[in-house]
Amino acid sequence: MKVQNKTILVTGGGSGMGRELVLHLLSKQAKVIAIDINATGLNETVELAANNKNSLSTFVVDITNKNAVEELRNKILAQHNSIDGVINNAGIIQPFVKINELGYDAIERVMNVNFYGTLYMTKTFLPHLLTRPEAHVVNVSSMGGFLPVPGQVIYGASKAAVKLLTEGLHSELANTNVKVTVVFPGAVNTNITKNSGLTSMPQSNADNKSMKVLSAAKAAEIIIDGMENNSYRVLVGSDAKFMDLISRLNPAYAAKFIYKKMKAILPE
């Protein structure tokens, strides 16, 4: 689905990759609805939209609140009449600790934002999308959604749930006008740590200069390109592509590879 002149909703539009998705869509002459729990971040996105800000509207909402999401749908449709696409980008990570040290409050928060937030948005807006001549749902999973990352196991579980939710939705909607894409970003330069309520992430003593971290703007470009080409899955970054291949060929080796990378920064 080409995004020009379409109305696209983006969650997490107040920062990071979500903000870049908003700005890239606007540059391609789409009308964009950005939602986020952070009003300040949304206002900053509006300012960055510059000459395109008239094509951007914003709504502050907590996507983990099912009733709030359903009310959001009514507010948006009253203002825009129609929506052609939903990009479920909003997500948070967990504290960088093993499951044994992770509290249930953190576990539930990660699952609520990453999985239930995506589910509520998808299920709430899907009936309307099915009435459109063409429409699209894009759900952002993670490289951690197909590969176990020690210290981020609950985050990975939430993103694995998004992966299968999206793939299942793709099959269910195969004979409809709604296309579905699942996205697997690798390392992308965003402020997800801050937005997750964490002060910092532990750093390895190893030299990390060789690690290629993709810019959020480039990641957004890749995602929108995948959307416009009705891609089944989109791998964002060379690390995501490499680990996807290795995990398919030898899952145990891939898991051990990541464990060795993470071992030095995991608390004992």
Q: Which residues form the catalytic set?
A: 155
Residue 170 phi/psi, 5° resolution? Answer: -55, -45
Residue linked to tokens 């909003």: 90
Question: What residue ranges in 13-113 does DSSP mark as E strands?
Answer: 31-36, 56-60, 85-88
Question: In this structure, are residues 33 and 59 in contact, taking their beta carbons and an 8 Å threshold?
Answer: yes
d(CA 178, CA 133): 9
User: Collapsing DSSP states into helix, strand and coil, what is residue 180?
Assistant: strand
Residue 49 phi/psi, 5° resolution? Answer: -70, -20
DSSP per-residue letters across 205-261: SS--TT---EEHHHHHHHHHHHHHTT-SEEEESHHHHHHHHHHHH-HHHHHHHHHHH
Question: What residue ranges in the chain does DSSP mark as E strands?
Answer: 7-11, 31-36, 56-60, 85-88, 135-140, 178-185, 188-189, 214-215, 233-236
